[in-house]
Structure 1
């Protein structure tokens, strides 16, 4: 099973917007962000649209069309981003009803829902401790671009 990379792509986009702002100012276009992520601009626009709805970015139309951060990276956590872009839970129970005449089939769904709820809350709690500023500074440090941190 492949993992979902949307949180990584969203963090990439937000930190790229910050880097663009520090280097060039102005708005960041979906095309340029997509070039960094190596994906289609439509993918970026969809993710940024969800993050706009959650108040993480603003979009501008017209001659200066593009994206800007709605608040500083220090004020955004990975949990904020996760909740903006991942409406579905991490795990789900059977899509179809299991055999309710079977002792396992009749009890598996509620047990697994409870376990998954606990896992989901643990993930959200951990993501709450990591700001996008942390991600940004760690990426810059690993790229030898620390002069852009401040």
Structure 2
């Protein structure tokens, strides 16, 4: 599964747990909402647990949020599910041919651009919380009912 898919599923999981806070958010329940298998949900919940975004207790079904909605940013989720080295969205191919004009210079040419893009992504993700996502879903649902 790609980073972007794990990220989207991670946001989905945290948001669903909030909407189902009075119920049991088991991996089967979450998997039905995400439309995937429970094993994948357990894997991503494990990543979220390791990042201290959810609490899961052995022998007790379901996950709970470990922090307030307003304290969990999308950057937290991104970092929790991102298994890429050094949390970098872009990786530069490091085995380019040093005998080639492009091969010996491409890394230095694109590295600053990719670093800027990474910073822009992180800035945007750090400004949005799970609380914002929950509120947006509530607003969209109300708009759909008015139609």
| Structure 2: unaligned runs, 5 residues or longer | none
- CA distance in structure 1 between the partners assigned to 2:137 and 2:67 by the alignment: 19
Question: Per-residue deviation at 1:87?
Answer: 2.8
Task: Note if contact 1:92-1:113 (Cα within 8 Å) is conserved in structure 2.
Answer: no
- CA distance in structure 2 between the partners assigned to 1:132 and 1:98 by the alignment: 41
In the comparison of the two structures, how many residue pairs are matched?
Answer: 139
Deviations 1:11-49 (A, max 9, x none): 11101000001xxx2541011001000011111111111
The equivalent of 2:100 in structure 1 is: 102
Name segments (4+ residues, structure 1) moved above 3 Å: none
| Structure 1: unaligned runs, 5 residues or longer | 146-150
Q: TM-score, normalised by structure 2?
A: 0.87
RMSD over aligned Cα atoms: 1.8
Deviations 1:49-96 (A, max 9, x none): 11101110010221x3220000111110000110111132222222x6
Alignment of 1:26-37 (within 5 A): 26-37=23-34
Alignment of 1:67-106 (within 5 A): 67-88=63-84, 89-94=88-93, 97-106=95-104
